[in-house]
Amino acid sequence: MPIDPLAGQPAPPDRLVNLAQLMADYYTLPPTKPVSFGTSGHRGSSMAGSFNEAHVVAVAAAVAEYRQQAGFKGPLFLAHDTHALSEAAWRTVLSVLAATEVNVVISSGREYVPTPVTSFMILEHNRAHPDKLADGIVITPSHNPPKDGGIKYNPPNGGPADVDITGWIEKRAGQLIEEIDSIKRLPLTRALKAPNVVESDLIGPFVEGLGQVVNLSKVKGSGLKIGIDPLGGSGVHYWEPIAERWGIDLTVVNPVVDPSFSFMTLDSDGVIRMDCSSPYAMANLIGMGDRFDLGLGNDPDFDRHGIVSGGGLMNPNHYLATAIDYLVQHRPDWPPQAMIGKTAVSSAIIGRVAAGHGRKVYETPVGFKWFVDGLNNSSLLFGGEESAGASFLKFNGQSWTTDKCGFCMTLLAAEMSAETGKLPHELYAQITARYGATDYLRLDTNLTDQAKEALVNLKPESLIGTSLANLKVVEASTKAPGNGASLGGLKVTLSDGSWFALRPSGTEPKMKLYVESFGGADLLSQITDEASKLV
């Protein structure tokens, strides 16, 4: 896909969403598309008829029914990010849950709540009250454009619900949306005063808990100057308490919350997208590189991380490998047999790093839900996705979060720098000296019906033994080796360790092509060209 001429530049007025229309459509347009849970909940836009009030009412009512049938007697933590539709959907969900007498916890002052905070609160509550299990709803479309909305359910394990649960909720919500007028609701003013709705400080416990997963005392005395760009996200008001509690020299370079995200620079395709793994979306923070030793960014629900080190944005795969290499050497109390979780489209260098430390890799399809159980029972010490989402265990080997945590991953960069005296990009250079350098590329293209059909009809076994980019195909599969689950696409490994994968996006109507070369940029280009022709 060609790079938009304005990529990395401030968003002009004609690229901003019409907030008045967006909100009017949420409340007045009937749903034209069904409830559909992708890799991380139901997502859509009110303007497209795919994320309207009826969708949210039906999902909230379905979740209330599910948790009642499952016997969850604890509270439901209700979280939302800074997208315009998130605020509207938060009010809608609360109106339903208050009427169904679900015990709901919201943040004091109706503060935004990041995804990892929700997971942390669920796990902490359930450790203390195993007879009254808590769960949560997070209202967010993640890093998607300002016109989008999203809603996902986190059961008592604290992570994204698995396919069995989301399948049940999706099916039940589809039934309820046909009888939407029968679902009980309370007006917002009454819902906020309902006896089953409680406001609680969620910032304080999370900020204090960060010391159990990252060595922030080491950062305190390091002299590191850290710049933070929350990209207008839900954790914007967490950074000042973090700085005060742990004595860290950090500056929030942009504290603005604006549901149009008008302060953003445009992504590669010319769309406003709060993707902290994109150098185009992170152009503002990258441009401040001379002011800080480290620049740290997050997406709107703070489940992703962006690391600016040495004046540039690190490739998420490079940072994942660096984090793993550091963690396994500086967490002596972690279970010795615990594995490292990676998705099939994450860098193969992660596997080389893991092997170098005698750790096994657990490779899964795309989606953090595949790591939830492993992080929960500490059979995984780390789970990470190439899209810049990861979490890892506390110092004592207990789970920190079972959803992606942008806070611990960004603050880990500061710990690594303070402990080693080297910035993350310098630590990654040491890794490539040991395990080899790679070139990695992810391309998003429009998903046509023909391309989707061609991908479905590809026979992986027919590719083994053939040549691509003058290298022999040694492995081709549509299933993940770690758990045998469907990749939702195809992954092909070549004889020198290079590989590529094709899969439809779970959040946008796009085809994703992932390519990694151990033979330099020219080989990367050749693999990309020949792999694209398969579909």
Q: Answer positive or negative: Cα dihedral of 360, 366, 370, 375.
A: positive
Q: What structural domains does the chain harbor?
A: 17-205 (3.40.120.10), 212-435 (3.40.120.10), 439-532 (3.30.310.50)
First to last CA, the chain: 15
Q: What is the pLDDT of residue 505?
A: 72
Measured CA to CA, the distance from residue 121 to residue 487 in angstroms comes to 31
Q: Name beta bridge partners: 445.
A: 511
Q: Of 261, 317, 330, 299, which is closest to residue 407 (Cα–Cα)?
A: 299
Q: Name beta bridge partners: 305.
A: 298
pLDDT digits (tens, 9 = 90+) for 503-534: 887 656 778 899 999 999 999 999 999 988 87
In sequence order, the 6+-apart residues with CB closer than 8 A to the CB of 163 are: 369
Q: What is the pLDDT of residue 508?
A: 64
Cβ count within 10 A of residue 461: 9
The b-or-e profile of 379-407 (16+ CB within 10 A means b, else e) is ebbbbbbbbbbbbbbbbeeebbbbbbbbb
Q: What is the pLDDT of residue 401?
A: 98
Helix (H) or strand (E) holding 392: strand 389-392
Q: What is the pLDDT of residue 101?
A: 86
Measured CA to CA, the distance from residue 250 to residue 224 in angstroms comes to 8
pLDDT digits (tens, 9 = 90+) for 90-141: 999 999 999 998 999 999 999 999 999 999 999 999 999 999 999 999 999 9
Q: Which residues of the chain have pLDDT under 70?
A: 1, 506-508, 535
Among the listed residues 142, 222, 268, 277, the single catalytic one is: 142
pLDDT digits (tens, 9 = 90+) for 377-414: 999 999 999 999 999 999 999 999 999 999 999 999 99
In sequence order, the 6+-apart residues with CB closer than 8 A to the CB of 462 are: none
Q: Verify whether residue 391 is a known catalytic residue.
A: no
